[in-house]
Structure 1
Amino acid sequence: MGFSRLAAAITVLFASAAACASGDRTFERQVPAEARGAVDISNVSGTVVVTGWDRPQVSVRAELGEGVERVDVSSEHGRTTVKVVLPHHSGHGGDADLHVQVPKDSELTVSAVSADVRTTGVTGVQRLNAVSGDITAELGGSDLELKTVSGDVKLKGHGQPARLHVSSVSGDVHLEHGAGDLEAATVSGTLVVSLDSVRSVRVRTTSGDVHFEGKLASGADFDATSVSGDLNVRASAEAGYAYEVSTFSGDISNCFDATPSGHGHMPGHTLQGTRGDGAGHIRLKTMSGDVQLCDRK
């Protein structure tokens, strides 16, 4: 054997040994799936990337780190399941990076722990759950239910109306170009929302600030409450809206020169009135935060 061949053989040998030592390996599988079926994905530690496509099948590609036993993929009765499996009684989990392509109209459910989640091109209903991981999702015009603990959320839509339910504990939420109905609850994160068209908004936050910008449909209802966070709402509406604003120990300001009223010797301020025809309704309330309201975006 020549020197060059021997050197090449040694290089391959050492590369193989390094791969085995690291425990990294690749998994790939495709299974048939219904165009509007359900897809459930779960992962502990790593990433989950889901992309919608036009094929009636689910394609799974994964990079598995040391400590991951296998990936189970099954498809029956209209439901496809992708699950990362760790060894029984494992003292520590391994990382798994999942790349999953699903029929775009699938009903998607993702559960992740210590893993980031990203979805694009999925036009069916999405239910996304993460603990100690960020979620980035593209809104496809169908309903979204999202829950996260210790992770940030970034959502981007295309102005298509949908019902959006977002719950976050210790993480910021950014929503851009959404539309329809929004219900959001945060504990200690900032909520930044931009909605192209609003039917209803219900926001509850404990210690996080809320920044909202959007256009209210005729008869829309907007309700936001905060304990110690600020509320900054810039909402336009062709048919106008009635507004009720109150704060216990914060300040109230607006862009249309309305004057808040006090409660005599009691703490707190309120602001009530009507903009335009008053077809919609806005209620804003804080305990120790400030409130800003403007009828122009």
Structure 2
Amino acid sequence: MRDIFHRTFTSFNAMGFFHSSKLFVSVLTISTFLTPFSAAAQKKFSKTYPASKNIRLQLTNRSGTVTVTAWERNEIRIIARMEAPAAKVLPEMSGDGLIINVVRDNYGKNEIGNVNFEVKVPAQSMVDIETRVGNLTVKDVHGAMVRARITSEGDITLSGIESEAVMAENVIGDIFFDGSLQSGGNYRFASTKGNINLQLPFSSSFRLVATAPSTSISLGAFSNSGLNFVSDGRRVVGSVGGGDSLLSVINQRGSISFIRK
């Protein structure tokens, strides 16, 4: 019996069974050690609030992405993922809106991680979002106002927008707008360094002031006798259609392009 056990032990060892077992235990130990660390590296906040159809969302972030998407519910759903060191996220419901201010709520902290927001709002909501660093995205919002501002670096994407007042502004990064210009509306897009692309229906009617001191302005299908290039082609003024809305675009060191839907 002792010989049989010895031969069996030797055979298993020759096949690397015990070596593999040690490897498995080592991997399991490393995995067990890393799992709590990974879970602690990112925290999540999630909450849903009842809302009127035309509620105002005001969100001020410090760093991280913000994505706001319209849906058919009379609710606002906030999902925030906080990277370490985790910031405080303290939403406040006021009489006419929901306010989230990461900068104010973490005042005095030398360092906080990115906070990445995913927000669902009623389609008729007013949206006012801002961050220092990070991309901002707003989709399918038709409320009275959409404002997206980045005080340092990041891209702004506004798609499916049908609002009377739209403002998008950054320092470094691209700006893309896909939407309809409403009669009597006011639209302003500004960047210091990046590309500004505006995708509009061909039937759009607006008064235009566009300035690109360092690069070019491409009017595409919207070029017509009502628009005039001045300042060696670095500035365009005039009207498209009946001039029913006001459109102002300025890009200090990047291009401006109009794209027909």
> Structure 2 length normalisation: TM-score?
0.70
Higher helix share: 2
Q: Which runs of 5+ in 2 are unaligned?
A: 1-20, 243-261
CA distance in 2, matches of 1:67, 1:120: 30
The within-5 A match list for 1:1-297 is 11-12=31-32, 14-20=34-40, 23-85=41-103, 87-124=106-143, 125-131=145-151, 132-143=153-164, 144-157=166-179, 162-178=185-201, 196-215=203-222, 222=227, 224-226=229-231, 229=234
**1:158-186 deviation per Cα after TM superposition (whole angstroms, max 9, x unaligned):** 576543211211121001125xxxxxxxx
Q: Which amino acid aligns with 2:170?
A: T
**1:207-228 deviation per Cα after TM superposition (whole angstroms, max 9, x unaligned):** 12100124489xx954554468
Equivalent residues, number:
215
User: Contact between 2:211 and 2:234, CA under 8 Å: does it hold in 1?
Assistant: no
Aligned residue in 2 for 1:255: none
Higher strand share: 1
User: Contact between 2:84 and 2:113, CA under 8 Å: does it hold in 1?
Assistant: yes
Deviation at 1:139, TM superposition (A): 4.1
Q: In terms of Rg, which structure is larger?
A: 2
User: Contact between 2:65 and 2:117, CA under 8 Å: does it hold in 1?
Assistant: yes
CA distance in 2, matches of 1:11, 1:163: 55
Q: Which runs of 5+ in 1 are unaligned?
A: 179-194, 240-297
CA 1:173–1:221 in 2, change beyond 3 Å: closer, same or farther?
same
User: Contact between 1:67 and 1:87, CA under 8 Å: does it hold in 2?
Assistant: no
CA distance in 2, matches of 1:165, 1:236: 16
* SS of match in other structure, 1:110: strand
**1:20-57 deviation per Cα after TM superposition (whole angstroms, max 9, x unaligned):** 2xx31111111122211211011111100000112111
User: Contact between 1:205 and 1:225, CA under 8 Å: does it hold in 2?
Assistant: no
Higher relative contact order, structure no. (Cα contacts within 8 Å, ≥ 6 residues apart): 2
User: Contact between 1:157 and 1:177, CA under 8 Å: does it hold in 2?
Assistant: yes
User: Contact between 2:87 and 2:112, CA under 8 Å: does it hold in 1?
Assistant: no
Deviation at 1:148, TM superposition (A): 1.4
Identity %: 20
User: Contact between 1:204 and 1:225, CA under 8 Å: does it hold in 2?
Assistant: no
CA distance in 1, matches of 2:76, 2:190: 28
> Structure 1 length normalisation: TM-score?
0.62
RMSD: 3.4
* SS of match in other structure, 1:62: strand
* SS of match in other structure, 2:36: helix
User: Contact between 1:204 and 1:226, CA under 8 Å: does it hold in 2?
Assistant: no
CA distance in 1, matches of 2:215, 2:207: 21
CA 1:206–1:30 in 2, change beyond 3 Å: closer, same or farther?
same
